Amino acid sequence: MRTPALIGVLSLALASATVLANHASAVTPNVSVVDATTAEETFKGTLVCAQCGLKKPDAHECQDVLLVDDGKGNTAEYYITKNDVAEKAGEACTLKIPATVTGTVSQKDGKTWLTPSKIEKH
């Protein structure tokens, strides 16, 4: 049984969500929706561990990172998302493993993440 107080709370929540949605579209009129089927990319580089190899201060456990040289002396870091493909490939830990990784790229917490669909170690 719904009480008047619960109905009031639900109405307020719905009204707030509507206002926020309208405000967001008014503030950011040039925002487009990203296609959920982001294209896969392939990167060739060296798998290392953020904690053991790169000594990243924010790494508190082993985390694979693919280091990719751009040919101009710069190295891009692609943090490998932990999924079934990454688990099957195993962690780099203290090793430097030449590898080719195919997957989708995203940004999160100021880092570039690569969600692998395929990892080939050379």
In the chain, the amino acid numbered 65 is V
The DSSP element (H or E) to which 77 belongs, if any, is strand 75-80
Q: Is residue 105 a contact partner of residue 112, using CB atoms and an 8 Å limit? A: yes
Give the residue from 60, 74, 67, 52 showing the smallest Cα distance to 114: 67
**pLDDT level of residue 37 (50, 70, 90 thresholds):** low
pLDDT of residue 43: 97
The predicted-structure confidence for 42-99, as pLDDT tens digits, reads as follows 999 999 999 999 999 999 999 999 999 988 999 999 999 999 999 999 999 999 999 9
In the chain, the amino acid numbered 54 is L
- The Cα–Cα gap between 34 and 1 comes to 41
Half-sphere exposure of 25 (CA within 13 A, CB side): 6
The DSSP element (H or E) to which 88 belongs, if any, is helix 84-89
User: What mean pLDDT value characterizes the chain?
Assistant: 80
Q: Is the pTM of this model over 0.85?
A: no
**What's the whole-number mean pLDDT along residues 98-110?**
97
